[in-house]
Amino acid sequence: MAGFLKSLFSAGQSLQLDPGAWAEALALPVFDGLAADDAARLRELAGRLLADKTFSGAAGHAVDAAMATRIAAFAALPVLNLGYDWYKGWSEVIVYPAEFVPEREIVDDYGIVHRVRQPLSGEAWEGGPLVLSWDDVLYSGGGQGYNVVIHEFAHKLDMKNGAVDGLPPLHSGLAVADWAAAFGQAYADFCRRVDAGEETAIDPYASESPAEFFAVLSECFFEMPDVLADDYPALYERLRRFYKQDPLSRLESSYDTATT
């Protein structure tokens, strides 16, 4: 497996923050309303990520400093007030040019092995690499609810205490029972809405599992906090306390600036 992987991927390299790409990233809607001191801390965290992780291109894709800078800008946002240590313990970001189709073997209840090929926009391995489609990175940040980088890094936060189950390690002021009850109730409601064929502003992929629910809601929390706060105010509040930031007030402050 290792030899096979090596032949597919370019060697991982350390890349430095590209100031032009940084300015371009920070102009995206997801960063609207970010105060100057927050933006400075975001840049410092992005710099740490670039120094700590190697970036490899897959399927012939060449990752340059500008691409890595945009990825690092999105990745730094969830840990803006949590600190960089949340991203320690693994070392590689792999970037495909577009959606990728890994071949996996799945054993069913009867012991029969199936080869499954399913296109992915990203994936996060426990203790291992974080994988992204560059096309999907480019679709991210527009304030439409979609951000593959935040999604995969949210899985990394979730994995910090072992199981990928939608329950990341909680800091003081957040109780596991309360988190489980709030998320459990909202997840059941969301699955019911998706099953009923309702058009949801939140990506229906969130109904896949509690882990995907947490990752997709984290995307919404940063990319369209107003929609999340309307649909699931109790979850917005828990995510605000977990991430220790309030994207909704940033968004509202950016509206105020826009109208004056």
Task: List interacting residues with Zn ion (CB under 5 A).
Answer: 212, 215
239: which 2 tokens?
A: 């995510």
Least Å distance, CB 195 to Zn ion, is 20
Least Å distance, CB 60 to Zn ion, is 25
> Who's near 216: CB < 8 A, 6+ residues apart?
151, 202, 203, 205, 206
H-only helix segments in 108-209: 134-139, 148-159, 176-195
Going from the C-alpha of 90 to that of each of 43, 56, 87, 120, 247, the distances in angstroms are: 21, 14, 8, 21, 28
Residue 238's Cβ-side half-sphere holds a number of Cα atoms within 13 Å equal to 23
Nearer to Zn ion (CB atom), residue 212 or residue 246: 212
In angstroms, the CA 98 to CA 61 distance is 9
In angstroms, the CA 174 to CA 205 distance is 26
Nearer to Zn ion (CB atom), residue 51 or residue 116: 116
In the bound state, the residue with its beta carbon closest to Zn ion is: 215
Nearer to Zn ion (CB atom), residue 212 or residue 231: 212
Nearer to Zn ion (CB atom), residue 45 or residue 215: 215
Least Å distance, CB 132 to Zn ion, is 12
Nearer to Zn ion (CB atom), residue 49 or residue 215: 215
Nearer to Zn ion (CB atom), residue 33 or residue 145: 145
Place of tokens 């490899």: 56
Going from the C-alpha of 166 to that of each of 61, 88, 109, 247, the distances in angstroms are: 32, 19, 25, 20
The beta strands (E) that lie in the chain are given as 54-57, 92-96, 103-107, 113-117, 122-124, 130-133
